[in-house]
Chains A and B, each alone.
Chain A
Amino acid sequence: MNFNFHIIGGDFSNAGVASSEVKKVLKRLNVDCIIIKRAVVSLYEAEVNVVAHAFEGDIFIDISSEKISIILKDKGPGIEDISKAMEEGFSTASPKVREMGFGAGMGLPNIKRNSDFMEIESVVGVGTTLTIEINIKSSGE
């Protein structure tokens, strides 16, 4: 099952719409509520990141019986130092982002905590691609 969403940079009133839609689908599919929460918290943090930092972006979601795969591809400033960006507390967010309750440098570490696989590829001045996977079935099942 595939879904795509487009995100506009700076559009905070719609940040979370994609995550909300994905949550509804996962609930309809009777996915375990802990897995749903891990997936939508990861996606929501990532969605807010695109709204906060990029000009625009696209989300590609694939749900199989094995896992939830999420790719967020944005056009934006990119990330200069990915390992620094992964440090809890490091942030380049604007005051506007902080007013919305984000920008404390917790988003990427929180995505890592909630996902089974996470990869960031970024080109400064071009954009960032974030890949996240959440397993629906554990390897033992």
Chain B
Amino acid sequence: MKLKEIIDLLEGNLLCGKERLDDDLQSAFASDLMSDVLTVADSEILLITGLANIQTIRTSEMSDISHILLVRNKKATVEMLSLAIENGIALIESPYSMFRVCGILFNSGLKPVF
């Protein structure tokens, strides 16, 4: 599924990473626990999280994750945005809850990592 389709489905707002709108994603992982994210071997995933702090971006940088979705209107800080831009990461905000986001994306064909 293209990133731009994901954004449309979730009433998302892309904060940075416009060049990634046509990226084709096959799977997603949802967690607020960054140690859990660091155990995921796959890199070509959408990270769905309610954790909006600098370590969300650092964790993605270390895990080679290039697509992050912040749920439930969590707002990215200036520090987060700047680090996401530096690492070429697409950062999206959505008003939907994590459960709703996961349900919509699962029904639309995105696969779980585990």
Contacts and interface: CB of A to CB of B under 8 A. Distances in A.
Q: Dominant SS at the B interface? A: helix
A100 B53 contact: yes
Interface stretch (B5-13, B28-36, B68-76, B106-114): B28-36
Contact of A104 (B36, B55, B61, B79): B36
A44 interface: yes
Tell me if A's interface is mostly helix, strand, loop or mixed: helix
Interface of A: 12-13, 15-16, 19-20, 23, 33, 37, 40-41, 44-45, 48, 99-104, 106-107, 110, 113
A141 B49 CA distance: 40
A33 B36 CA distance: 20
Contacts of A99: 53
20 contacts: A12-B53, A12-B54, A16-B58, A20-B58, A23-B61, A23-B62, A33-B64, A37-B43, A37-B62, A44-B62, A45-B38, A101-B37, A101-B51, A102-B34, A103-B35, A104-B33, A106-B33, A106-B35, A110-B35, A110-B39
A20 B61 contact: yes
B86 to A, nearest CB: 9
